[in-house]
Amino acid sequence: MYKRRIMKDRLFTLAVSVLGLLALAPLFHIIYTVTVRGVPAILEAGPSFFTEPPAPPGSERLGGIAPALLGSFWLALISTMLGIPLAFLVGLFLYEFKESRLARLVRVFTMSLLEIPTILVGMLVYTIVVIPLGGFSVAAGAIALAIVMLPYVATYVERALDSVPATYREAALGLGLSRARTSLIIAGIARRGVLAGFLIGFAKAIGETAPLLFTVGSARNSLNPSPFEPGDAVPLLVFQFIATPYENWIKLAWGAAFVLTVTVLTVFIALRVVVREVRL
Amino acid sequence: MAQKRPAEARSDKLFYYALIPFASTAFLIILLTLFVLTAKGLPALEFYGLKVLTSTRWLPNEFDPEKAVYGLLPAIAGTLVTAIIAVVIALPLSLSLTVLVEELAPSRVRDILSSLVDVMAGMPTIVYGVWGIGFLAPILAPIYSGLQSTLGSLPLFSCEPTGGFSILTAGLLLAIMIIPFIFAVVKEAYRAIPATYREAALSLGMTRYEYTRLLMGMIKPAIIAGVLLGFGRAASETVAVALVVGNAFNLPLCIIGPGITVSSLIANQFGEANLYPLMQNVLYLGGLVLLVLGLASNFLGILMLTRVRVRV
Amino acid sequence: MEKAVTELKPPLEVQIRELRVKLEGREILKGVSLSAKPGAVTAVMGPSGSGKSTLLKTINRLIEYYPGVEVEGDVVVGGVSAFEMDPYLLRRYVAMVFQTPNPFPHLTIYDNVALGPRIHGLAKSKKELDEIVRWALEKAMLWDEVKDRLNDYPSKLSGGQQQRLSLARALALRPPVLLLDEPTANIDPVNTKKIEEAIIGLAREEGTTVLIVTHTPQQAARISDYIAVLYEGRLVEWGPTKEVVLRPRHEITRAYLKGEI
């Protein structure tokens, strides 16, 4: 009996360690795969990878992903400008009025928004923005991304505010400050946590694909800087190129996937640096 | 001070009301999505009847909607089956990861492991997709062929594999993608168990295996919540699945063969669907099914989570 | 570490020898020597932070789960060093009840009590298990209140009943040594009285070695045979209860008994 229990425990410890590490293993393999296939592609394309549009399908040359990079830049900029202030206010509301019934409802809906397939957000924006405006545009894609990032940023902001010790809040209120002023002071104290929330939003904005499928328009050769024209995005290019039969486009897709991975990892490292120091 | 109070309260009320329009965005977006999908999806249901949900065929017609056949069943079933495969595989891995992080790893390693899971959660889904197409599907292809030649008499493995693109590949890839989400839900609940219960279990002379099992039993609602939320995630994932599922209108009876899911169907067809009368409406209807599925699993998941808090 | 000790023969005396415990560099116990006899109740007293809980949790080696712990000295249970025994085995003989009632909320009353015997395989049949559960609940003075609802969940019990259930869960192992860490700190007087009766009964009838941490001198006087007083990690007084109460030798004990600390 006793020996069997110890055996079971050892087996369990072993199994859990192996399975737990197995759960994490794909991450390393993904980063490895994207690197060993993406870096050679970028090297083959040379500097034009960042300055040119893709070469025609099946051509010997690779060309580059410049329009997608430009599009992703615009998308990230506009969507964070739209989404982050909005999400910040939602987070502020959730924190400041957390005891109200409305806040509880808002929380449920914000969490539910997290579970709405992002492709449906693309369909929604297609229906209410793209069709009325008469065509695809970077702005439409940015709206879709702003919607997608909203729940992530809002819940992160709320958590950051929540982690500030209650004494600060009481001190501010005790000085006779209004709740609006108080909550802004709290946000100031929790600024690193809030910033971390913004970074999460940014990471979402550059990494998401599905919301862009029917909104941005895959204008693969356009270096047009207007947000009201169709554009391209890095993840969108990856999605549409990786499954083609054209060698040069597949290579571009791997290179673009590498760029995307590096960008997101950089944001995550920044996030760690930001949050680690405050321990919020 | 007592005189100042009402004035203060008024400005606070103003603050409250000023924030409401922003706070209600999530609600409005969900409502709007529901409305758009219903308004655009219903015409398809009206025209084709329930057949649109139960048919297994997909024969578009550019000119005459009467001659077209649109059946969402393979896609809906494919969504359910891939998501179920994902959850079944991801659950033991996520629970193991929880125990590894919370019980086995030294505190420094614990932080590193947690950050790695965060990175996993934040990795763009398209990156999982290219890994699926570039690595996972190719290495699974010969395994599928082997399965078919040895276990081909079973319906699950009876079909001709096509280069590793299949329902099972999609399920596996989804499993990897939802591990961080199930882990996050379970870990949070596990960590919230008051220390006194752990001490009580240990004081009875339980081994690590025995007491982790006991504590996991204590947070069972959270585990169920994790499963539901993970299921919702898996069902709604689009681009990674679209790249590996094979996109064939088959019922997912044979899991080593190609299939389709609602989201990959939409991703593949919605762009050109306006060329075919009513096809777009069918896809909106599919979107509605997906939305209901996502909201239902989210709602049930949240319900489960509140049950943990009441109990512990 | 693990020697081939697989069984201990009760009654078991607990001998604590020059015990030093550090938690994250801070010395909590600074060389405590003490023993607790079978069939007697030893009350461990002292102001908060004096190391009472640490002492108890070192006896059943729960302390090892705390971060940055260092233990020197020895705890000998029934002639065998606790640190040379497998902790799982040790805890089958040395049971513990905590300050907060902590029956497992997802297990029924019956399953809570049956947990220990099941883990350690102490019952050969359902009938035997039923008997152990009944015995433990009787010893914890809870049987009459729960015998008709053994399949209820502990949340239906009052706080005091939950604490007696925690006691019953510990007793189901028929432990020769019982550790209690301020078991009545959060309990009403009626339940406190029942728990005290249960403790005295165990020592007298079962010959159990009982160590109880208490913060009320009155409780120590009511139930204990010996009193040990800890102050800042040192043992400042140890002797038969009557002597300690009537003729405290140490200034700190006197102040403590008067309620000045």
> Looking at residue B2, what is its pLDDT?
44
Of B16, B27, B133, Cβ closest to residue A109: B27
**Which residue shows structure tokens 């030294």?**
B106
Band of residue C10 on the pLDDT scale cut at 50, 70, 90: confident
Of B8, B22, B122, Cβ closest to residue A86: B22
The arithmetic mean of pLDDT across residues B269-291, rounded, is 93
Chain A: list its partners (3+ Cβ pairs within 8 Å): B, C
For residues A216 and A227, give the distance between their C-alpha atoms in angstroms, rounded to a whole number: 10
Interchain contact B3–C (C-beta under 8 A) = no
Size of interface A-C (CB pairs under 8 A): 8
Q: Are strands C209-213 and C177-181 parallel, antiparallel or unpaired?
A: parallel
* C122 contacts A1 by C-beta, under 8 angstroms: no
CB atoms closer than 10 angstroms to residue B188 = 15
Give the residue, C137 or C260, on which the prediction is more confident. Answer: C137
- Cβ distance of A1 and C120 shorter than 8 Å: yes
- Cβ distance of C86 and A6 shorter than 8 Å: yes
- A223 in a domain, yes or no? yes
pLDDT over 60 (residue C260): yes
Q: What is the domain range of residue A80?
A: 66-278
Q: Which residue of C has its CA nearest to B311?
A: C105
pLDDT over 90 (residue B280): yes
Portion 162-221 of A in contact with B at CB < 8 A: 176, 178-180, 200, 203, 206-210, 213-214
Torsion of CA B158, B163, B168, B170, to 10 degrees: -150
The arithmetic mean of pLDDT across residues B135-140, rounded, is 96
C13: amino acid identity, one letter: E
- The full DSSP string for B13-64 is HHHHHHHHHHHTHHHHHHHHHHHHHHHHHHHHHHHHTTHHHH---EE--SS-
Helix (H) or strand (E) holding B112: helix B107-122
> Looking at residue B8, what is its pLDDT?
52
Smallest CA-to-CA distance from A273 within A203, A189, A195, A157 is with A195
Topology adopted by domain C14-102+161-257: Rossmann fold (3.40.50)
* B196 contacts C86 by C-beta, under 8 angstroms: no
C122-133, pLDDT tens digit by residue? Answer: 999 999 999 999
The arithmetic mean of pLDDT across residues C30-44, rounded, is 96
Smallest CA-to-CA distance from A65 within A237, A245, A269, A248 is with A237
The domain tally of chain A equals 1
Encoded tokens for A221: 């050769």
Find the helix packing angle between B4-23 and A179-189, rounded to 10°: 60
Q: What is the largest CA-CA distance in chain C?
A: 55
Of B202, B204, B312, Cβ closest to residue C115: B204
Q: In chain B, which residues have their Cβ closer than 8 Å to the Cβ of A97?
A: 16, 19
Q: Are strands C14-23 and B69-70 parallel, antiparallel or unpaired?
A: unpaired
B73-90, pLDDT tens digit by residue? Answer: 999 999 999 999 999 999
Smallest CA-to-CA distance from A198 within A155, A238, A164 is with A155
Read off the DSSP letter of residue C63: G
Q: In chain A, which residues have their Cβ closer than 8 Å to the Cβ of C119?
A: 5
pLDDT over 80 (residue B7): no
CB atoms closer than 10 angstroms to residue C131 = 12
- The full DSSP string for A15-82 is HHHHHHHHHHHHHHHHHHHHHHHHHHHHHHHTTHHHHSPBPPTT-S--B--HHHHHHHHHHHHHHHHH
> Looking at residue C1, what is its pLDDT?
45
**Nearest-neighbour CA in chain C from A7: distance (Å):** 13
Query: How far lies A220's CA from each of A65, A77, A249, in Å?
Result: 8, 19, 12
Encoded tokens for C102: 């902590």
**Which residue shows structure tokens 């752990």?**
B198
C144-190, pLDDT tens digit by residue? Answer: 999 999 999 999 999 999 999 999 999 999 999 999 999 999 899 99
Domains identified in chain B and CATH numbers: 31-311 (1.10.3720.10)
pTM (2 decimals)?
Answer: 0.92
> Looking at residue B309, what is its pLDDT?
53
The arithmetic mean of pLDDT across residues B125-131, rounded, is 97
Q: Which residue of B has its CA nearest to A115?
A: B294
Encoded tokens for B286: 């599919």
**Nearest-neighbour CA in chain B from C41: distance (Å):** 20
Interchain contact B106–C (C-beta under 8 A) = no
- A152 in a domain, yes or no? yes
- A32 in a domain, yes or no? no
Smallest CA-to-CA distance from A37 within A238, A221, A210 is with A238
For residues A205 and A146, give the distance between their C-alpha atoms in angstroms, rounded to a whole number: 7
- Establish how many alpha carbons lie within 13 A of residue B28's alpha carbon, considering only the half-sphere containing its beta carbon: 8
- A13 in a domain, yes or no? no
What is the pLDDT of chain B when averaged over all its residues? 91
- Cβ distance of A261 and B129 shorter than 8 Å: no
Read off the DSSP letter of residue B75: H
The arithmetic mean of pLDDT across residues C231-237, rounded, is 93
> Looking at residue B259, what is its pLDDT?
95
- Taken in order A24, A28, A29, A33, the sign of the CA dihedral is positive
- A36 in a domain, yes or no? no
Encoded tokens for C64: 């090892």
Positions of chain A with pLDDT lower than 50, given as ranges? 277-280
- Cβ distance of C86 and A1 shorter than 8 Å: no
- Cβ distance of A5 and C88 shorter than 8 Å: yes
- Cβ distance of C98 and B200 shorter than 8 Å: yes
Burial degree of B112 (CB within 10 A; 0-12, 13-18, 19+) = exposed
The arithmetic mean of pLDDT across residues B261-286, rounded, is 93
> Looking at residue A280, what is its pLDDT?
33
CATH number at residue A180: 1.10.3720.10
- A176 in a domain, yes or no? yes
Smallest CA-to-CA distance from A56 within A237, A257, A246, A258 is with A246
- A85 in a domain, yes or no? yes
Chain B: list its partners (3+ Cβ pairs within 8 Å): A, C
- Establish how many alpha carbons lie within 13 A of residue C167's alpha carbon, considering only the half-sphere containing its beta carbon: 31
Euclidean distance between the first and the last CA atom of chain A, given in angstroms as a whole number: 46
- Cβ distance of A16 and B135 shorter than 8 Å: no
**Which residue shows structure tokens 């987070």?**
A91
Smallest CA-to-CA distance from C8 within A102, A2, A76 is with A2
Distance of CA A94 to the CA centre of its chain: 22
- A74 in a domain, yes or no? yes
**Which residue shows structure tokens 């990856």?**
A238
- Cβ distance of C173 and B205 shorter than 8 Å: yes
A64-115, pLDDT tens digit by residue? Answer: 999 999 999 999 999 999 999 999 999 999 998 888 888 888 988 898 888 8
